[in-house]
Amino acid sequence: MSFLDHFYHAHNTDLQLWTPWFQGDALLGYVQDSFKERGLALDLWRETERGLVIPDLPEMELNQLFARFAKQTYEEGSLWSWVGELFPVKASVTDSTRFVMERTLTAPLGCLTFGVHLNGYVRTGQGIELWVAKRSQQKPTFPGKLDNIVGGGQPAGLSLSENLIKECFEEAGISERQARQSVATGTVSYSHTDGRGLKRDILYCFDLELPDSFVPACQDGEVESFERLPISEVLSIIQTSNEFKYNCNLVIIDFAIRHGILTGDNTADYAELCQRRNQLTD
């Protein structure tokens, strides 16, 4: 296994196997066959030569249409969980929110989704140490996997900074004052399928240097434990295992590149790693 293998795993989608769906001329996602057929049966969309097209309805009516579809597919057992959080549906990063839908539905419908991930680190005399979270065994997705100290999806109605502050407190007990010291460092993106849907994610990454005395404390039950590890040990785990949730591997590798820990001198795949940090398939 290598660092690059994690990028291959994250970018594993063949869009020829998915059906695109549109609002007018705007591509909003890619749907798997079972949800395509269920959507046709429930008049969520109609089939055309280029793909599926949703009705030309006002935003509020589309909200209601997709809420009904989410509820029905969940009650039928097609959705694996229910978050109860609304995500914006957009054609691109710069597009305005067209309507909203239940978070769990965004993957089966292959929507463009967004998130915030935070690298919480401490500088010591021996070098950088990174706080690593272990996800709760009760999480419906990736239970027990290692994770960033903070990470969460971007819901409708919050700015990135507002969401980061919220997630910092809920997941690690980081105060608003501390969270506001986070430094925006760019994005990591990927198109990934794992059998439950298509994740077309853009993650907004942040670094937060924490004092030696800080100890994270989960407030919402989503994290089982935290451990502070030398960055070399974290990278060794990534390079030799799949212990981390797959997208966290990318976020931490990005951190190590930016902080000069992985370089062209000590990392054989350095140039390709740098190129692959953002490879969202359209």
Per residue in 251-275, pLDDT tens?
A: 999 999 999 999 999 999 999 999 8
In this prediction, residue 25 has a pLDDT band, given cuts at 50, 70 and 90, of very high
Using DSSP, state whether 193 is helix, strand or coil: strand
Per-residue pLDDT, 16? 87
The token duo for 93 is 């990063």
Q: DSSP alpha helices (H): ranges in the chain?
A: 3-10, 33-41, 59-75, 160-172, 176-179, 231-240, 246-258, 270-275
Per-residue pLDDT, 75? 95
**Which of 142-146, 193-197, 232-236, 270-274 has the lowest average pLDDT?**
193-197
In this prediction, residue 157 has a pLDDT band, given cuts at 50, 70 and 90, of very high
In tens, the pLDDT along 178-213 reads: 999 999 999 999 999 988 899 999 999 999 999 999
Output the CA torsion sign for 168, 245, 207, 129.
positive
Closest C-alpha among 246, 252, 240, 242 to residue 193: 246
Residue 282 reports pLDDT greater than 60: no
In this prediction, residue 279 has a pLDDT band, given cuts at 50, 70 and 90, of low
In tens, the pLDDT along 94-122 reads: 999 999 999 999 999 999 999 999 999 99
E strands, 141-252, in order: 146-148, 150-153, 183-193, 198-209, 223-230
In tens, the pLDDT along 52-85 reads: 999 999 999 999 999 999 999 999 999 988 999 9
Q: What percent of the chain has pLDDT over 70?
A: 99
Distance CA 145, CA 137 (A): 8
Mean pLDDT of 11-16: 90
Per-residue pLDDT, 50? 94
**Domains observed in the chain:** 3-11+113-275 (3.90.79.10), 19-109 (3.30.750.160)
Other beta carbons less than 10 A from residue 176's beta carbon:
10
| 0.85 surpassed by pTM | yes
Asked if 61 contacts 85 with a C-beta cutoff of 8 angstroms, the reply is no
Sheet containing 26-31, strands listed edge to edge, beginning at the edge strand earlier in sequence? 26-31, 19-23, 52-53, 46-47
